[in-house]
Amino acid sequence: MYFFFYEIIILCFIPFALAKLFYRGLIKLDHLKYLNERFAIYSKEKKSIWQSRQTVWFHCVSVGETKAVFTLIEILLKRYPKTYFLISHGTLTGRNTKLPNSPRIHRTYLPYDTKGAGKRFLFYYQPKVGLILETELWFNLINQCRFHKIPLHLINARLSKNSLNKYLPFKEFINSGLSQLNSIFVRSKEDLDNFSSLTEANTEIMGNIKFEARPPKGIQKKINQLKKKLKLTNQFVLVAGSTRPGEEKILLKLVQKLNYKNLILAIVPRHPERFDEVEKIFQAQNLKIIRKSKLGKLSKAPKYILVDTMGDLYEVYGIASLAVIGGSILDYGGQNPIEPMSLNIQTAVGPSIYNFRDMVSDAERDKAIFRFKDIDELEQIIKNLLIKGQINQNILRNAQQYIKNSSGSTDKVVRLVNQYL
């Protein structure tokens, strides 16, 4: 009964999803590419090819999840030279993320979660096992995997207290879906407790595979090239990564208040559709902000930079004197701080961390990051760094040790996949 009503809701949702997609397509045509994949309509000629392959399927909704599986896939590529790897996405940014170079890696959009589309998707690719990252819950697809006896695991799963409270009124339905998974592997004790309050599914702690993500090969060369283009020498560069609405104005006001000649602010909005909106914030104050996509030849380092290109977060974090994690200044729950930390960049996280509470709390305990409860504390952090020479070596040393101590979850996923190959 639950799944019947769920199917009706999804079918009603699709016209609105398509309308939004076509609207975005008017702005950027890439949104309309591969529309057939969203309905699981595939080439009949290639169907027999996929059915003859041994395939491991990963669902990585967006950029962060996609990058998180790189190390894992590279290990599996070497271990299983005849196995293919399918990566499905839910967003354009995820689908556009550059993958490891291998003819055995294929990507596609995950279709809308109707019963028919899920069935076509699974019948076409016929994966030996499916691994869904984090908390992408598509109940028709989960149900179809169980019906067709395809093992399906939720890995790197997270569930904040906020999300748990939203799901609890629908506990019976959600439990009926989650209990069809073979297992749920969560990132932390907090996630384990939250999932246990929601479902009777087999759940255990695996750790966070995002600790295993390594900077892309050749990234230092790209960082050096970007520094050269931007005419950076000894400036203090404040990079705000994955910012959300309202945060750009706060950071701009802070930089203006500090009034430090060699302080540069680089903004990386979380969502591409906000690039123009963020640019207008600066233009409204007659401030010149340089878009990364239109750098050209500069005569001097710009005061303000808008990163309006996709997949460049590692590169931009690499030029930072201090990286501020977007979504943590206002109440959005934060973002993953590991990317700048893995580049040996000082990292600061604000008060809102509920999406990454255990990760940030552990890093704070190990004195591996800066924490600020409000913008005044961030101001003081920046002032201290400017006075003491920009770099806090203790923070950097502790961050590398923290990442090292937190690694190991990839080996657990490899052992899980081994069971099916």
To the nearest 10 degrees (0 to 180), the angle between helices 44-51 and 115-125 is 60
Q: Cα angle at 197 between 196 and 201, to 5 degrees?
A: 40
At 185 the pLDDT is 94
Percentage with pLDDT > 90 across the chain: 69
Phi, psi of 402 (to 5 degrees): -60, -45
Share of the chain above pLDDT 70, in %: 100
Q: Do 25-214+407-418 and 219-406 come out as alike in CATH topology?
A: yes
pLDDT tens for 81-131 read: 999 999 999 998 889 888 888 999 999 999 999 999 999 999 999 999 999
**Domain range annotation of the chain:** 25-214+407-418, 219-406
Rounded Cα distance between 366 and 369, Å, is 8
- Give per-residue pLDDT as tens, 28-43: 888 888 999 999 999 8
Could you say which of 3.30.9.10, 3.10.20.740, 3.40.50.2000, 3.90.1150.10 is the CATH number of the domain covering 219-406? 3.40.50.2000
Backbone angles phi, psi at 161, to 5 degrees: -60, -40
As a three-state string, the secondary structure of the chain is: CHHHHHHHHHHHHHHHHHHHHHHHHHHCHHHHCCHHHHHCCCCHHHHHHHHCCEEEEEECCCHHHHHHCHHHHHHHHHHCCCEEEEEEECCHHHHHCCCCCCCCEEEEECCCCCHHHHHHHHHHHCCCEEEEECCCCCHHHHHHHHHCCCCEEEEEECCCHHHHHHHHHHHHHHHHHHCCCCEEEECCHHHHHHHHCCCCCCEEECCCHHHCCCCCCCHHHHHHHHHHHCCCCCCEEEEEEEECCCHHHHHHHHHHHHCCCCEEEEEEECCHHHHHHHHHHHHCCCCCEEEHHHCCCCCCCCCEEECCCCCCHHHHHCCCCEEEECCCCCCCCCCCCHHHHHCCCCEEECCCCCCCHHHHHHHHHCCCCEECCCHHHHHHHHHHHHHHCCCCHHHHHHHHHHHHHHCCHHHHHHHHHHCCC
Section 130-153 average pLDDT: 94
Would the pLDDT of 47 be above 80?
A: no
| CATH of region 25-214+407-418 | 3.40.50.11720
- Cβ atoms of 317 and 342 within 8 Å: the answer is no
pLDDT confidence of 276, banded at 50, 70, 90? Answer: very high
406: closest CA among 120, 188, 250? 188
> Within 10 Å of residue 413's Cβ, how many Cβ atoms?
24
The answer to whether 182 and 154 are in contact (CB under 8 A) is: no
Which residue has tokens 């291998």?
A: 102
CA atoms within 13 A on the CB side of 5: 5
CB 306 within 8 A of CB 278: yes
For the chain, give the longest Cα–Cα distance.
Answer: 66
- Between 4 and 83, whose confidence is greater? 83
Residue-wise pLDDT for 167-224, tens only, equals 999 999 999 999 999 999 998 888 999 999 999 999 999 888 888 777 888 899 999 9
pLDDT at 4: 81
Amino acid at 172: E
The pLDDT of 345-366, averaged and rounded, is 92
Q: In this predicted model, what pLDDT tens digit does every residue of 282-330 receive, in sequence order?
A: 999 999 999 999 988 888 999 999 999 988 899 999 999 999 999 999 9
d(CA 264, CA 321): 10
pTM metric for this prediction = 0.80
- For residue 32, the Cα-to-chain-centroid distance in whole angstroms is 22
What band does 51 get if pLDDT is binned at 50, 70 and 90?
confident
pLDDT, mean over the chain: 92
**Cβ neighbours, 10 Å, residue 75:** 16
Closest CA to 59 of 176, 181, 166: 181
